[in-house]
Structure 1
Amino acid sequence: MVAGESSGDLLASRLLAGLRPQLPTSRMHGIGGPHMAEYGFTSDWPIEKLSVRGLFEVLAHYREITNIRNSLRAGLVVERPSVFIGVDAPDFNLGLETDLKKAGIPTMHFISPSIWAWRGGRIKKIERAVSHMLVVFPFEEAIYRNAGIPVTYVGHPLAEIIPMQPDVAAARTALSLPVSGPVVAILPGSRMSELKYNTAAFVAAAALLLKREPRMRIIAPMAGEAQARYFTEVIAAAGLSDVPIDLLQGQSHLAMAAADAVLVASGTASLEVALFKKPMVIAYKMLRASWEIMRHMGYQPWVGLPNILAQEFIVPELLQQAATPEAMAQALWQQLDDHAGRATLVARFTAMHHALLRDTAQESANAVLTLIDQSRTPSSSTYRSPP
């Protein structure tokens, strides 16, 4: 298995939760993080090596990433695993899956690339790369069926992990926050490139909110120690070290549960915030050259997953030049002050949660076992454990 970032690590852990009990002695390895490690997964390289976003940002790490992929490919072709599962990270995984599938190794991809949002032509590459696709949004299943690609809708793992009704008081107690009083969480991203471009503006927005409401608590969960150190370096360089922020190691779900509103970088984290039923502002900045290329490639007016699933702007999106500290602070303040809007969002996000809820661990594990079985004995439908 290969997961390319912290959100992929969390999603992959749900698949492993269903798979490990049925394959208790199997070797599971590749690239993953701490959540996958809880199920006996061994990471051959640190997951941070792949946590890069943006066209030009990736170029800076291209040689190292390519060397990792080449080494992994060579080892797997010799090892011939029962199955290879790429978890998101399509730019890394699809090419690897294509080569492994050609070599006769069954390949599965978990979490579809956003072909419904941009670069729809990738479906042809996916067809060459994967033996079976696992999708997490209901509308994706028909896309792959129509393209003749074996597919299973397994629900979204986060819909299982996140409670339907978050316990705000318990989360605040766990984080040593006051039970009453405003709390805002800022999540500038888990990748170093995201922290580079988002951190200063996010913290400056928090500073503006604190001027309006000095009693407000600002919390910022970090994906790991390296991210926390870099976050601190960025705000120091921006002259923002005096902004009072509670920096958390991990604990992003506790932070979301505890918050009254969230400023979040676009990506899986925005869906997590929606499942926690929280008002949010989605914001994102990247290298200008990457932005100029990517902004012309989208099919939809929305970037954030909550808006894409709702097919309308139910929460604000502030991207690139629009993601100024002033605009973000104002949008967040409006979210905090709009009680009727909060109730509407809770209802919309609750319906979204129900639509995404399945027994993802079991359904995805069953699909993996079926693929392994089919690749070994095409005429058999009964799974046999490996020796």
Structure 2
Amino acid sequence: MSLITNPTIAVVAGESSGDLLASRMLSGLRPQLPHANLHGIGGKHMAEYGFVSDYPMETLSVRGLFEVLMHYREIKAVQTNLIDQLLAERPNVFIGVDAPDFNFTVEQRLKEAGIPTVHFIGPSIWAWRRGRINKIIKSVSHMLVIFPFEEEIYKAANVPVTYVGHPLAEVLPLEPDTMAARQELGLPLDATIVTIMPGSRLSEINYNTAAFIGAAKILAQRDPSIRFIVPMVGDKQRNAYIEQVVKAQLSDVPVLLINGASHTAITAANSVLVASGTATLEVALLKKPMVIAYKQTWASWQIMRRMAYQPWIGLPNILAREFLVPEFVQDEANPLALADALWKQLHDDKLVARLKQRFLDMHHSLLRDSARESAQAILQIINQSATGK
């Protein structure tokens, strides 16, 4: 139990995946601190635990180096106002959830002012931009990591660290029920189903959707009985874009558009075409074969490829340290290549069985009580700050 019964805890999550991950952390904190003031930037899942978002989370939901530059003034204004607000308020702890480019600046200013800072989900310095460790040392009082191999990286840099497991490993079942998911969506139990997930950010959808839909058209030509599911994010603008593209290009293909319910859409599938990001781990934890693809501006890609330290972009492959599932980036992510890779997964039962076992092993390795582990770490930090120890 915390020595402070009504602390102020500031949290910033920059997108929907961060909102979900932060909500797991808050689910462990709120019962122990029922009167805590929780505010900052977050989404609907965090709001379930009494969190108040001072700014719209969508302001930070921009991906890609040049895309961020286009929204720089708006993002910078929010960051500056938030820093000023928190320096005046002096919360008992600040927790930055992912969004490292935004949160590290906030964390550094607060840490310099003597406010404890926690960063939940370490940035992928093991994949690219290793120089970030120097920024982390200046900005972060304690790092919470979700992959087991990350602990040694931060210990070697003398950054206090706690491995809390990946919250998604707790939320998603070890044995997903494919038939129940198909019944829930009103789909034939014996159908061949491909779920298409071009991304949650508008920039991802803009760049990925054409190739993804093109792959679906090729598969439909090869086998007209294949059905497709496209789970849509909640934002009306994004929904309108996907609906416009899908309806225009797949008017003669059996495709089901659903709002949200991405986990149900994944569970119902035989294979998934997914944009690189957290969704790839969701697909793996739901034990489904997948093809990973990603497209962005040419300039952003040229910069990022020069910063990369490993050959993989998808989380399942990074965790496996091998190309467990196919990846296609930029020009390689063309409709024919994506369709061919999906076609192989749909017709290779031995491959599917092998992937399911590897994904099950991966699930067990990430399974911890992340809500309890993260809450205990944060409570300890608050207590240490209060006692001066």
TM-score for both structures, normalised by structure 1: 0.95
Q: Report the RMSD for the aligned CA atoms in angstroms.
A: 1.3
1:338 to 344, 348, 352: 348
Q: Alpha-carbon deviation of 1:230?
A: 2.5
For residue 53 of structure 1, give the secondary structure of its aligned residue in structure 2.
Answer: coil
Q: Alpha-carbon deviation of 1:86?
A: 0.6
Q: Alpha-carbon deviation of 1:215?
A: 2.0
Identity of aligned residues (%): 64
Q: Alpha-carbon deviation of 1:239?
A: 4.7
Map 1:138-149; keep pairs closer than 5 Å: 138-149=148-159
> Is the 2:273–2:342 Cα contact (8 Å) retained in structure 1?
yes
Q: Alpha-carbon deviation of 1:169?
A: 1.3
> Is the 2:226–2:254 Cα contact (8 Å) retained in structure 1?
no
Query: Residue in 2 aligned with 1:136?
Result: 146
Write the deviation string for residues 298-356 of structure 1: whole angstroms up to 9, x where unpaired: 11011111001101001000000000011111111111111000110011111110000
Q: Which amino acid aligns with 1:286?
A: Q
Q: Alpha-carbon deviation of 1:5?
A: 1.1
Mapped to 1, the partners of 2:66 and 2:246 lie a distance apart of: 23
Mapped to 1, the partners of 2:149 and 2:219 lie a distance apart of: 38
Query: Residue in 2 aligned with 1:232?
Result: 243
* Contiguous gaps of at least 5 residues in structure 2: 1-10
1:273 to 267, 275, 283: 283
Mapped to 2, the partners of 1:244 and 1:287 lie a distance apart of: 31
Mapped to 2, the partners of 1:19 and 1:257 lie a distance apart of: 30
For residue 248 of structure 1, give the secondary structure of its aligned residue in structure 2.
Answer: strand
Query: Residue in 2 aligned with 1:104?
Result: 114
Query: Residue in 1 aligned with 2:265?
Result: 255
1:118 aligns with 2:124: no
Q: Alpha-carbon deviation of 1:216?
A: 1.8
Mapped to 2, the partners of 1:117 and 1:25 lie a distance apart of: 40
1:282 aligns with 2:292: yes
Q: Alpha-carbon deviation of 1:234?
A: 4.4
Write the deviation string for residues 221-241 of structure 1: whole angstroms up to 9, x where unpaired: 1221332122224456x7555
Q: Tell me which stretches of 4 or more aligned residues in structure 1 moved more than 6 Å.
A: none
Q: Alpha-carbon deviation of 1:244?
A: 4.0
- Stretch of structure 1 that moved more, 312-321 or 48-57: 48-57
Write the deviation string for residues 65-109 of structure 1: whole angstroms up to 9, x where unpaired: 111111111111111111111111111111111111112211100
Query: Residue in 2 aligned with 1:210?
Result: 220
Q: Alpha-carbon deviation of 1:372?
A: 0.6
Query: Residue in 2 aligned with 1:18?
Result: 28
Query: Residue in 2 aligned with 1:384?
Result: none
Mapped to 2, the partners of 1:114 and 1:6 lie a distance apart of: 18
> Is the 2:194–2:271 Cα contact (8 Å) retained in structure 1?
yes
For residue 322 of structure 2, give the secondary structure of its aligned residue in structure 1.
Answer: coil
Query: Residue in 2 aligned with 1:311?
Result: 321
* Contiguous gaps of at least 5 residues in structure 1: 380-387
Q: Alpha-carbon deviation of 1:26?
A: 1.2
Write the deviation string for residues 141-181 of structure 1: whole angstroms up to 9, x where unpaired: 01101100000000011100110000111111222222221
TM-score for both structures, normalised by structure 2: 0.95
Map 1:137-216; keep pairs closer than 5 Å: 137-216=147-226
For residue 186 of structure 2, give the secondary structure of its aligned residue in structure 1.
Answer: coil
Mapped to 2, the partners of 1:89 and 1:125 lie a distance apart of: 14
